[in-house]
Amino acid sequence: MKSQIYFIMKECVFMHFNNFKQPITAYKRHPESFLSGHRLHANRYGLMLKRKQTMKLLNYIFLLLPSLTFAQMDNQKLVDSLRFVTEMPYACGMPIGLIASRSPDTLIYNIGCGDHYFWQAVKGKKEIIPFLIDKIDDTTMTEASVSYFGGRYTVADVAYTALQEIIKDVPTFELLKIKFDTNGCGYCSYWNYLREDIKNRKKFKVAVSKWYDENKENLVWVSSKIFLTCDVSGFNHPNGGHLELKK
């Protein structure tokens, strides 16, 4: 019995040694062919790993793509809905009778507060900015009246106002390349210039797009309750803050 066990153990040791011995013997007999063969196997293995990594990356992209596509579709729908805006915010306060029963985090769309189409676009934050910029030359008329200056808002005007509510201190008149009418009607120079010629709107769109592309990496989020384009009291900003350039 002992001799049988000894024989089996001997065979196992011999086979184990042979597994290491065969490559060494092959290398001694034909070193160049041995090395080239192993390089070929290594290259094939490397290629196989690259293919696996590429497939993993593609699978990740395919999984991520639907969510990105849906987000883009949502943002596009939001900016397309701006044509339905009937009122823009200008002076908004919470009615006295509702102060005790309403949360300041819920903006009530009463007179002067603007309608939900506008604020839904504003709540798109940074992700919706390119879509808003794309609308800056859209002359489709809305039902929203321009307070103090007369006329009606175009989709372009609504989109730019939404942009100003997301990003603080966009240099409007610098981008328009006109002066603020300090001694006259003030902001009316904005309206007069853009309404004068569609070419002016297109140039403004290009200027805003360029400014954003040059500065977007320097924009930081600042928590705030302040509204940037209208006078509001009694409500918190629906975004809870805004973007502004690093100081």
Residue extents of the structural domains in the chain: 70-245
C-beta of residue 228 within 8 angstroms of C-beta of residue 164: yes
Q: What is the pTM of this model?
A: 0.68
Average pLDDT, the chain: 77
Q: What is the mean pLDDT of residues 53-64?
A: 58
Question: Pairing mode, if any, of strands 231-233 and 91-93?
Answer: parallel
Residue with tokens 């007179």: 111
To which residue do tokens 């992209």 refer? 61
Is the separation of the CB atoms in 85 and 117 below 8 Å?
Answer: yes
Q: Tell whether the torsion through CA atoms of 219, 225, 226 and 228 is positive or negative.
A: positive
| 182 pLDDT more than 60 | yes
pLDDT (tens digit per residue) in 16-55: 444 444 544 544 555 555 445 555 555 565 566 666 666 6
Cα angle 150, 155, 156 (rounded to 5 degrees) comes to: 90
Burial of 46 (0-12, 13-18, 19+ CB in 10 A): exposed
Average pLDDT of the segment spanning 108-125: 82
pLDDT value at position 135?
97
Question: What is the rounded distance in angstroms from the CA atom of residue 33 to the CA atom of residue 41?
Answer: 12
Report the 10 Å Cβ neighbour count for 5.
Answer: 9
Q: Are the C-beta atoms of 134 and 72 separated by less than 8 Å?
A: no
The pLDDT of residue 211: 97
Least confident range of 150-154, 161-165, 178-182, 223-227: 178-182
Task: Please compute the mean of the pLDDT values over residues 65-76 and round it to a whole number.
Answer: 65
Q: Residues of 156-190 as b/e, b for ≥16 C-beta within 10 angstroms?
A: bbbbbbbbbbbbbebebeebbebeeeeeeeeeebb
Count each helix (H run) and each strand (E run) in the chain, helices first. 8, 6
pLDDT digits (tens, 9 = 90+) for 186-240: 888 999 999 999 999 999 999 999 999 999 999 999 999 888 988 877 778 889 8
Tell me what the mean pLDDT of segment 58-70 comes to.
52
- How wide is the angle at C-alpha 81 spanned by C-alphas 75 and 87, nearest 5°? 125
Q: Are 158 and 118 in contact (CB under 8 A)?
A: yes
Ranking 42-46, 79-83, 95-99, 158-162 by mean pLDDT, the lowest is: 95-99
pLDDT band at residue 3 under the 50/70/90 scheme: very low
Three-class SS of residue 186? strand
Name, in order, each residue with C-beta under 8 angstroms of 216's C-beta and a sequence gap of 6 or more. Answer: 129
Q: What is the pLDDT of residue 16?
A: 43
How confident is the model over 165-174, as a mean pLDDT? Answer: 96
Percent of the chain with pLDDT over 70: 63
Q: Quick one: pLDDT at residue 185?
A: 81
pLDDT at 13: 39
Average pLDDT over residues 86-110: 61
Identify the pLDDT of residue 247.
Answer: 80
What is the band of 99 on the pLDDT scale with cuts at 50, 70, 90? Answer: very low
The DSSP H or E segment spanning 33 is: helix 31-80
